Amino acid sequence: MVEKFQKTVDFVKSQYPDKNFIALHEPAFFGNERNYVLDAIDSTFVSSVGAYVNRFEEMMAELTGAKYAIAIVNGTNALHIGLVLAGVKSNEEVLSQALTFIATANAISYINAIPVFVDVDQETLGMSPQSLRDFLVHHAEKRADGVYNKTSGRRIAACVPMHTFGLPCKIDEIAAICEEWGIFLVEDAAESLGSYYKDKHTGVFGKIGVFSFNGNKTVTCGGGGALITDDEEIAKRAKHLTTQAKVPHKWEFVHDEIGYNYRMPNLNAALACAQLEQLPLFIENKRVLAERYLDFFSKMGIQFMHEPQSSRSNYWLNALIMDDLEERNALLTFTNDNGVMTRPVWELMNRLPMFKHCQTDGLENSIWLADRIVNIPSGFRP
C-alpha cells in the first residue's frame, strides 16, 4: 500500500514540478485581472453598481445560454435568493442530497425550510433520479395546493440537486420528475461552470440555476455568485430583491419589501470578467490533467471519477474512489504528510448536528461514497 501511495505522490508532483507543496486547487491569475481591477478602482465604482457588473452578467448569460444572469455576492446567497424566488416558505421542505457542500443545506435553512435528503448515483455523485422518484412515490402525495410529504405533513416546495465536483448529474431526468410532480427545480451548479450535459450547460435545466466564484473554483473573483434564468419576471425580481428591494429613483430611498444586500461588487466583477475570458483555457488544461490521472490510476487499479455518460465535465475537483474507509484514511494521511494536499468528501449533511433530524431515504450510495472519496490536486498547471 505504501508503494502505491508513494507512486501517487510522485505522479501528482510531476504534474506540478515547480511546487514544493501541491495545493488542492489554487487560483490562476495571468490574464486581464490586474488591469480590470485597477480600471474599476479608477472608475470609483467599486460597490454593486458598475460596468463590470453589467459585463459579468452579459458574459454569464452568453456562456450558459440563459436569457438572464444576475450577479450575486456569493454562491450561498445565490442559492438562498433562488429558493426565495421559488416561493419556498418557512416549515416547508426542500429535496436535496446529503452528499453536498454545506452551503446547499444552509441556504435551505435560511428561510426556515427543512432539507430532505435523497441518495446520489455512484457514477455521477449527484442526485439519483431513481431515488428522487422512489421517494416521491412512497412518501409524497399531490394535493390541490401542491405536493405534500405524507410522513411529515409538510409541503415539498422545491428540489435542489447539485453537480458534485463539476460532474453533471442526470439533470434532465430530475427536471422531468420535478415537472411531473409540480416541484420547483433550483439547480445547484456552484461547482460546474463550464460543464455540459447533453450539450446544454448546467444550470439551465430548471427555472433557476446558481453558480459560485469562490476562491477555489475554476473561475474565481475571491467571492462571488450568479443566478441564471430564462424567466424575465424571475430575473427582474432577483435583481430587485438582491438590491435591498429598493424602488429605482434618482434620490429617494423607498423599499417596497424585505430585500437583501446580495449584489456582487464591481471590484469582484472586474476580476470575474478577466477570469471568464480564460475559462476555455482553464478547462482545456484541467481536462488534460484529468486524462493523465485517468490513465495513471487505471494502471494503479484505483478508480478515478471520469465524466459521466452524455456529459462534458469541467473537472473542478478530481476524485478517487478507494476500496474502503481504511484505505481512504491511509491515503489521506500519506499524501498530506508528503506535500500533496488531499481531502475526503464533505461530511454527509444528515450526520451534522443541525441536520441529523432531517428525513432521508437511507442514502446507501452516499454512505458508501463518503467512506471512499479522496479529492486530489486539480488546479491549473502552468
pLDDT, one tens digit per residue, over 204-216 is 999 999 999 999 9
Structural domain boundaries in the chain = 2-22+279-376, 33-277
pLDDT of residue 1: 80
251 CB neighbour count, 10 Å cutoff: 4
Q: What is the mean pLDDT of residues 192-200?
A: 98
Percent above pLDDT 90 for the chain: 97
Dihedral of CA 234/195/126/171: which sign?
Answer: positive
Q: What is the mean pLDDT of residues 117-129?
A: 98
33-277 fold: Aspartate Aminotransferase; domain 2 (3.40.640)
2, pLDDT greater than 90: no
pLDDT of residue 243: 96
pLDDT, one tens digit per residue, over 65-83 is 999 999 999 999 999 999 9
pTM of the full structure:
0.95
Strand ranges of the sheet holding 343-344, from the earlier edge strand across to the other edge: 303-304, 318-321, 373-376, 343-344
The answer to whether the beta carbons of residues 349 and 105 sit under 8 Å apart is yes
382, pLDDT greater than 90: no
170-188 burial, b at 16+ Cβ within 10 Å, e below that, comes to bbebbbebbeebebbbbbb
pLDDT of residue 230: 98
Q: What is the mean pLDDT of residues 229-240?
A: 98
320, pLDDT greater than 90: yes
Query: Which of the four pLDDT bands, split at 50, 70 and 90, describes residue 321?
Result: very high
Distance CA 104, CA 324 (A): 27
178, pLDDT greater than 90: yes
Q: What is the mean pLDDT of residues 151-159?
A: 97
Q: What is the mean pLDDT of residues 299-325?
A: 97
238, pLDDT greater than 90: yes
State the chain's mean pLDDT as an integer. Answer: 97
Angle at 299 between CA 295 and CA 300, to 5 degrees: 115
Distance CA 15, CA 291 (A): 12
18, pLDDT greater than 90: no
The domain made up of 2-22+279-376 is a member of CATH 3.90.1150.10:
yes
Query: Which of the four pLDDT bands, split at 50, 70 and 90, describes residue 256?
Result: very high
